[in-house]
Structure 1
Amino acid sequence: MGTAVKTAKTSPASWDAFADVDAFVDEVLAELAAMAVDGTRSTRSGPTAALSGAALRKAIMAIWCVCFCGMQWRAIGQLCDIPFGTLYTLFARWTRLGLWRRLLNRLTLAWRQACGDKPVPSAVIIDSRSCHSAPTCFGRGFDGGKKIKGIKIHLAVDKYGFPLAINVSPANRHDGKGIVPVLHQLAGRGFKGTALGDLSYRGERLSKTGGALGITIQPSAGGHGGTFIPEGIRWVVERSLGWVSRYRRLNTIFERTEAHLVAFIEIAFISILSRRLVRLAPQEIGA
């Protein structure tokens, strides 16, 4: 359960988010084109023409820079010579249409296929991460364990570390409660299997909630005496949270809505996946 058949191999290279940013832009453009074909993305009407060509590519790259560099919308608008209101409106509209979630699902499926795996995993790993937030954020709470005043990100990832479900909440919400929306998202995707987590996910109530959705919650200790000890595939979610921490917009949270925060988390993983897929070794592409 949860072991890879064959992990896709990428060409060796140091971690550099800017090296393949064009891959991120290309994937977003491809998804926008697909949404236009199936009618999910309606044609925008207004006094000015919609962005296209090089201007649209620049706008997508600007949204990525907001996520990775943690820049303010006004600052990135000045640098790329596009009104910040236009950039923010594009981001908000694409978030509302579900562009980021749809693209992340497609890239996750492509990576699992490259690894020779099934579309739906038999096991997922669940965990959370507390982040500092600004007073203007959609909600704030105090995580007494980590001494952080802010919000909490709840993730369910597959064995490769890519999210299948995401939820956000104030930091004072217990992991056992914050993970319930994640379980409902997993069930909506057809997942029926085991959810591995730490001892925060103990409890009869959570177990019954998962059982009603066809998901078995399996908590276990992730360490001893304050030392983290990898157990099975449990460690991959820690790596995923480490990936997220490299994106500065996700370290101190400023988003006024939960949907926009989730969108930036999805953008971070889309960036990672698009970079990996473009670097697949030749033997994997030809297989």
Structure 2
Amino acid sequence: MTASTLAGKTIFMSGGSRGIGLAIALRAARDGANVVVAAKTDTPHPKLPGTVHTAIEEIEAAGGKGLAVVCDIREDEQVEGAVARAVERFGGIDICINNASAIQLTGTLETEMKRYDLMNGVNARGTFLVSKTCLPHLLKTDNPHILNLAPPLDMSPKWFAGHTAYTMAKFGMSMCTLGMAAEFRKQGVAVNSLWPLTAIDTAAVRNVLGGDEMGRHSRKPEILADAAHVILTRPARETTGHFFIDEVLLREEGVTDFSVYGPEGGGDPVADFFVPDEVFASVPTKVRHMF
């Protein structure tokens, strides 16, 4: 693994109250990073763990400095205010992580337009808006990164057939990676995507995709946290426009033991959505294909 550090860097993250975003934040906090968590969860949710405030408590306990900002990333003024507060508190922004996402796996006839609007508003528009608002500050720092928790653009019809609306919204995040990486390459801003090879044990997996049984066959969010750390500590001018897959990236860094990431009790993990077939063929890990 890299010996580089995120000490003193300021990260602006959408979402992050729980799950993958929180794991990435805690990994950065152990380096001594500043982490701004911009999320909607101000008070405890009856079905979901964590709030922006508990996330900051964990970040500071891990060794970082935190700022909780209650923010709906679909609202321009709220995002502008959240970024302004981050800059006021920490003096700038070095890293933007677009982690917030909305999911509903329904077919065309079953998808209400309010859910379509929610997914596209949070995933595609929210990623564009948060990136756009952070960019003036990223352009002033010495190793700026935008990292989107978004999949590779694999245009296989199987990823659209059962949930066209969700795939469109999620791929909207990926297209931000594709376009902004090219647009800001000369200015030295790295724009990349990160996606898991396998399902990750999060509230979305347990509540939306497959319940506790699927959660038990998923990996821990820490695998994405370690992969994100690798990306964000690389030179921005040498690391842009990539659609990284967590295990593939970590193997390139010399990691060989993935059992530390689960699943709990061992066994083969479940493959995630949107991962091209050739990626599975490139790694020795055996996965269970459910999609």
TM-score (norm. length: structure 1): 0.27
Which structure would you say has the larger Rg?
1
In terms of fraction of residues, the more strand-rich structure is 1
Normalised by the length of structure 2, the TM-score is: 0.27
